Chains A and B, each alone.
Chain A
Amino acid sequence: MAMALPGSARRRVGRGRSNESASTAWAITAWIVGLIAFFPVLYMFLTGFKSEAEAVELPPKLVFNPTFENYADVFGIDFWPFFRNSIVASLSSTALVMLLAVPCAYALALRRPKKWKDVLFFFISTRFMPPAGAIVPLYILFSANGDPKLFGFGLDLLNTMQGLVILYTAMNLPIAVWMLRSFLEEVPRDVLDAARVDGAGLFREMTQIVLPMITPGLVATMFISIIFAWNEFFFAFNLASVGTSTVPIFMVRFVTGEGLFWAKLAASCTMGVLPIVLLGWVAQRQLVRGLSMGAVK
Chain B
Amino acid sequence: MAADSDTTAGGGDGEIVTDVVIIGAGPVGLFAVFELGLVDVKCHLVDILGKVGGQCAELYPEKPIYDIPGLPIVSGQELTDRLMEQIKPFGATFHLGERIDGLARRADGRFDLTTDAGKKFNTRVVVIAAGGGSFTPKRPPLDGIEAFEGKSVFYSVRKMSEFMDKDVLIVGGGDSALDWTLNLQPIAKSVTLLHRRDEFRGAPHSVEKMRALVAEGKLRLLIGQVTALHGTDGWLEDAIVKTKDGEQKLSVNALMPFFGLTMKLGPIADWGLHLEENLIPVDTEKFETSEPGIFAVGDINTYPGKLKLILSGFHEAALMSQRVHKYVYPDKKLMFQYTTSSSNLQRKLGVK
Do A and B assemble together?
no
Interface residues of A (CB under 8 A from B): none
